[in-house]
Amino acid sequence: MSAKKNTEQKKEDPRHDKLFQERMASRRDELKWLYMELYSNRPMYDELEAQLLSYYHARNEELKARDIIRESYPEWYKQNDLLGMMFYIDNFAGNLKGVEEKLPYLEECQVNYIHLMPFLDSPEGRSDGGYAVADFRKVQPALGDREDRPSRTAACHEHGMNVCMDFVMNHTSEDHEWAVKARQGDPEYQSRFFFYDNDYIPKLYEQTVPQVFPTTAPGNFTYLPEIGQYVMTTFYPYQWDLNYRNPVVFNEMMYNFLYLANRGIDIIRIDAVPYIWKDLYTSCRNLPHVHTIVRMMRLISEIVCPGVLLLGEVVMEPEKVVPYFGTVEKPECHLLYNVTTMATTWHTVATRQVKLLKQQLDIVNSLPRDYVFLNYLRCHDDIGWGLDFESLAKDGIGEVSHKNYLNAYFQGFAGYSNSRGELYNYDPVTQDARFCGTTASMCGVEKAGYEQDEAGMAKALKLDIMLHAYLYMQSGIPVIYSGDETAQVNDYTYKNDPNKAADSRYIHRGKMDWERVEKRKVPGTPEYKIFTALEKLSEIRRREQVFVAGAGTWTLDTWDPSILGIVREYGGDKIIGLFNFSEQDRMAWIHEDDGQYRDLLTGEVREASGIGIPAYGFLYLKREN
């Protein structure tokens, strides 16, 4: 039976209990049907339903009130007032208490959505940046304690902040209590993973399952010589894949999910969601039962904690990402990452050609307006070149050669590049690799600063600001990585840490440079120029209703290969965004004959026709009504 029931019992307000029963009654039939279809186990379903009530009783009054407000206004996250920032707690502020102390700074950044990168207990040196969880209910000791979290999230809520965290449900650390007992030979706990006493089945899996990290962690299984068994480890040997064919696994992980939600988390990021169901003779990616599990998670959250959003991490091409929204009738994730657009953006920087990016945005803009994406220029992870190579091939661009060019460009070796950064997981056989670097370093700020090149710095800052302006123009929620608001560059000190030296992703996960942050107040500094520019863009986005997620959005032909045009229209308002991805002055050959337009940054009134855009420049033009 289940090992972690909820023990936080309290007397419940009859009005709230009635509300729970109403939510449960409207969803019970579907939840039970999906569960029984997957597991055919009535006792385990009954246990799950009983625990949902228990976790609901344990949810505090403030969170229940928050749920009711959001339940009555389900479009709350689709407006134009959410701006996200992501960071590692230790690098940003030392610990959870430090984050609370930095809330005024986050407010100054106009941020109201903070993604706290993995902070649950994980073994040092074997955590993959915190994604190998040893205890889903314990904070890393250096960051805080078990009871620290609710008070910190409450403080965030008082400052108008929504809190996001990672829920790593595909696997556990090898130090997790289940894994420890499985390694000791306990068959009950081995059944919660994928254990085999010989390599026959593992070799069958290897025939069809791709490798995630073929150079640093080849294969999908790890041999445990002390017990003579193989265990599935899709990512790293210390991350053991959970077996969701076992209903105990699903139930227990849902209890962990609800426990975290009850700590005041507003957005739960489901890590590696496409991987959570495994079938022999398949790729073990995006299988139908994954959607069954995510749909059940959505139902469970709507019953117990409807104010909580599910964010799916699906780092794949659009046709594989979109299904994780579910359908209008049966939704799954509230939010998904716009990963292909991110990668295509950097392709556009390196080629100065907007054609592919325009095609990608056309795909996203053609989707139902109910779908909300998180948009970003970079995150904690590497940049993988998951581009539309079929389209590129029509222009004579080969996949291998172009990936090589992009990696050379962003290292500063090709294409008149000013970028700096490092490769991640380079495979000498396939020549494939990903790229790592901060936004500022990829735009040339690091190089210009090192060379004390004032002209180069001005150009790098223009590119950086233009990319953020373009980011804010996309449909969805913009999320920036901490330090990007002050043009923080690559941090090479990770090479001095033996637990990080082999992982180049730490180059852009560096500690927040608070001395640099203080320069945001000094006119003329790069930090001031970036910070004030992003401040202005955020103000425009909050003020103008066309930036709501449901606005009509489409690309505009500019008849210049380096200028991207985006139009947003809502409630009678219309804004045109023009973005020059070239280091040369260019002309946008547009002709909008529906009146005059006002430049939202300068106040100048002009015709939206034949507009010159300076090198790495941009315009926000609003139609005068």
Residues in the chain: 625
- Asked if 289 and 244 touch (Cβ cutoff 8 Å), the reply is yes
DSSP 237-277: TTEEEP-TTSHHHHHHHHHHHHHHHTTT-SEEEETTGGGS-
Is residue 525 assigned to a domain?
no
Asked if 105 and 230 sit in the same domain, the reply is no
Q: Which of 321, 342, 356, 340 is nearest to 555 (CA)?
A: 356
Q: Which residue type is seen at 368?
A: P
Among residues 112, 150, 115, the alpha carbon closest in space to that of 130 is found at: 115
Report the alpha-carbon distance of residue 131 to residue 146 in Å, rounded. Answer: 18
Question: Same structural domain for residues 59 and 182?
Answer: no
- For helices 288-304 and 14-39, the axis angle rounded to 10 degrees is 170
User: What CATH number is attached to the domain comprising 145?
Assistant: 3.20.20.80
pTM of the model: 0.94
Domain with 96, as residue range(s), is 1-168+251-337
Same domain (yes/no): 83, 191: no
What CATH code is carried by the domain that includes residue 612? 2.60.40.1180
Tell whether 162 and 175 lie within a shared domain. no
CB 621 within 8 A of CB 605: no
Q: Which amino acid is at 229?
A: Q
CATH number, domain with residue 189: 3.90.400.10
Are 181 and 154 in the same domain?
no
CA atoms of 7 and 17, how far apart (whole Å): 18
| 3-class DSSP state of 363 | helix
Pick the last residue of a domain from 241, 259, 280: 241
Please indicate, yes or no, if residue 429 is contained in any of the structural domains.
Answer: no
Catalytic residue among 47, 100, 241, 313: 313
The single residue of 100, 266, 271, 503 carrying the catalytic annotation is 271
User: DSSP code of 564?
Assistant: E
Task: Find, among 620, 603, 459, 450, the residue nearest to 547 by Cα.
Answer: 620
Structure confidence at residue 16 (pLDDT): 66
Last residue of a domain, one of 298, 315, 337: 337
Output helix, strand, coil percentages for the chain, rounded to the nearest 5: 45, 20, 40
- Rounded average pLDDT per 10-residue block, the chain, 625 residues: 53 73 97 98 98 97 96 96 96 95 96 96 90 95 73 90 97 98 97 98 97 89 97 97 98 98 97 96 97 98 98 87 93 96 97 98 93 95 93 95 96 97 86 93 98 98 98 97 97 94 94 95 97 98 96 97 98 97 98 95 95 98 93
Specify if 593 maps to a domain. Answer: yes
Q: Is residue 412 assigned to a domain?
A: no
Residue 268 belongs to a domain: yes
- Joined together, the tokens standing for residue 315 give 């780092």
Among 512, 540, 620, which Cα is nearest to 110's? 540
Domain count, the chain: 3
Looking at the fold, whether 162 and 304 belong to one and the same domain comes out as yes
Please state, in angstroms and rounded to a whole number, the distance separating the CA atoms of residues 88 and 102: 13
Q: Is residue 498 part of a domain?
A: no
591 phi and psi angles, rounded to 5 deg: -150, 85
pLDDT value of position 147:
60
* Residue 497 appears among annotated catalytic residues: no
Write the pLDDT tens digit of every residue in 40-58: 999 999 999 999 999 999 9
Amino acid in the structure at residue 330: K
> Is residue 280 in some structural domain?
yes
Distance between CA atoms of 218 and 229, rounded to whole angstroms? 18
Of the residues 310, 337, 364, the one at which a domain ends = 337
Q: Tokens 């902040």 map to which residue?
A: 161
Residues 216, 162 share a domain: no
- Whether 271 is a known active-site residue: answer yes
What are the two backbone dihedrals, phi and then psi, of residue 577, each rounded to the nearest 5 degrees? -110, 130
In a domain, 237, yes or no: yes
pLDDT of residue 3: 47
Question: Are residues 180 and 164 both part of a single domain?
Answer: no
In contact, 267 and 162? CB cutoff 8 Å: yes
Are 175 and 207 contained in the same domain?
yes
Whether 90 and 59 share a structural domain: yes
